[in-house]
Structure 1
């Protein structure tokens, strides 16, 4: 499987790509493991001991495994539109899968909650702007008052030439992580043409329009950014 498919939607229905998905994020996302740990800490600031967490874009199970191992009394509902990725999530989680309810589909198929927190990691850049607004609102509707939402995805400035510069940095990081230069450049071109990458200001505005407050940037890794906000 070519690494250039890791951050395109076609990867999530490709059996070979899905089988190797867990290798991808650490090679393409600067500080991926530390970012996941930071998300855990941000959630733990407000989630009670027996908290229930909604994980949007749960396919692959990477963050579910990290969260569940860090907090053995939390339970989770994860949703993803790819059945293949949900199967991978079950394999990734192993015995902790008993604390997770997986849902096949989009945000609408998840329970109404209310949840103590939600996450949406490396997912929103697959969603067009208007649908992203709706998704953020539906997540907000499922959260308890004051509950945190943590998101992280591709988000870059898009002034004169800025988008190209940031996506080139994305490719350069991948090469430094061992990805072949040709594949890294293919990945850059694919995400540039296929994904819905907004500016950081637009991303923050969507969260605020959905009813979230205290929107704060907590993570920047070249072309990736992450925010915490509160219902």
Structure 2
């Protein structure tokens, strides 16, 4: 069974744990910031898919005060924590929160310039990934783009062992690293880099590139036109 992101214990410990689990976690957001500054318009409308506890939202809203954000997450407790975090930061005027998965995007009248799905789609079941990216693609403007960052397919035991060793260096305990390795198939639905690019193509993105790699973690950028 995949991790329950609505579990209060998971929610409360999320920000601390993810920095230990994901290599170069802060650098991911710095790269996203640089890409957004390069590609997004000055008054951009941003869709944040899987907003989690709101760290990414707060960072971007502070960096880009003229932008507006729509944040979605299927876990009510995550949305609640993110809303409180953004409210405490005085940024609610920039952010709209919606509880649900990407299927709710079809009910929105507006379109977005950019969609962010950072560390999200690797949790989406393989048979649902196509719908996930098509929902995102359909919510974007004609020249919209999508940025995602994913753990991709692990092809052999050596790759998994390398990820485990790196996680130990970034802060996981021996027990936590062992649990991560043992649960990789239960907690994630991993596909290859080529399969990920194909999903982007099927979702209507004409240009798909990778912008980052740390072992089996890859960043993807898809542009519609």
TM-score of the pair, normalised by structure 2: 0.91
Q: Is the 8 A contact 2:154 2:160 kept in 1?
A: no
Displacement of 1:112: 4.2
Aligned to 1:143: 140
* 2:109 maps to 1:99: no
Aligned to 1:224: 217
Aligned to 1:181: 174
Aligned to 1:169: 162
Residues in 2 aligned to 1:107 and 1:168: alpha-carbon distance in whole angstroms: 33
User: Deviation per CA, 1:62-102, whole angstroms, max 9, x where unpaired?
Assistant: 21112111111111001100011111212333211331111
Unaligned runs of 5+ in 1: 1-7
Secondary structure at the residue paired with 1:196? coil
The alignment covers a number of residue pairs equal to 220
Aligned to 2:40: 47
TM-score of the pair, normalised by structure 1: 0.89
Residues in 2 aligned to 1:69 and 1:16: alpha-carbon distance in whole angstroms: 28
Aligned to 2:123: 126
Displacement of 1:138: 1.1
Displacement of 1:224: 1.2
Where relative contact order (Cα < 8 A, 6+ residues apart) is larger, the structure is 1
RMSD: 1.7
Aligned to 1:5: none
Unaligned runs of 5+ in 2: none
Q: 1:45 to 1:224 in 2, by over 3 A?
A: same
Residue number among 3, 8, 12 corresponding to 1:9 in the alignment? 3
